[in-house]
Amino acid sequence: MTVTTDNIRDLLNRPRGLNNATINEYITMRTEEVDKKARSTEYLASGSANAVTTAQKEAAIKALVCTDCLMVLVNTVATFYPQDDQKAIDQRFQEQLKNFIKRGEDLLSMVAGKGGTAFVVDSVNSRLPSSSSETDVIRNSLRETSPYE
């Protein structure tokens, strides 16, 4: 299944003033972006749980395209809606925009290499705890490597 203009229109409750060509252009741009950022299966087994599925990519694309389309709608509310309805519709679009921005970021980070792999990134201590002082450690290491003993 691919992302279509009907998918986007359904997610946005079929708003007035959204052009099919605009949606198609955003789909093309965001598909390219998600494909570039999606983690590669080069180092993962094909059946790995960490491999990116097509459904995950499509979900990220849909959320990102909805964000783009909502930006267009917010900027063009005055053109397509009567004066009496503009404030309520603008507020609805703003709330949807906030939600889709968050959802898009979450889904994109899940698809990207950093957000979805099982590798642990954490700091570690470079020194091992010991009861002796540093000079004792150095002295002992020198004794172990000294050719004169």
33 closest CA partner among 80, 68, 8: 68
Average pLDDT over residues 85-110: 90
Average pLDDT over residues 139-149: 56
Q: Which residue has the tokens 């965001």?
A: 30
Tokens of 65: 């395209």
How far is 90 from 30, CA to CA, in rounded Å? 24
What pLDDT digit, counting tens, does each position of 38-63 carry? Answer: 877 666 655 666 778 889 999 999 99
75 pLDDT tier (thresholds 50, 70, 90): confident
Average pLDDT over residues 128-145: 58
115 pLDDT tier (thresholds 50, 70, 90): very low
pLDDT of residue 2: 87
Is the pLDDT at 132 greater than 60, yes or no? no
Calculate the alpha carbon distances from 63 to 22, 42, 57, 77, 149 in Å. 15, 26, 10, 21, 70
106 pLDDT tier (thresholds 50, 70, 90): very high
Is the pLDDT at 24 greater than 90, yes or no? yes
Is the pLDDT at 68 greater than 90, yes or no? yes
Assessment of whether the complete model's pTM goes beyond 0.75: no
Is the pLDDT at 96 greater than 80, yes or no? yes
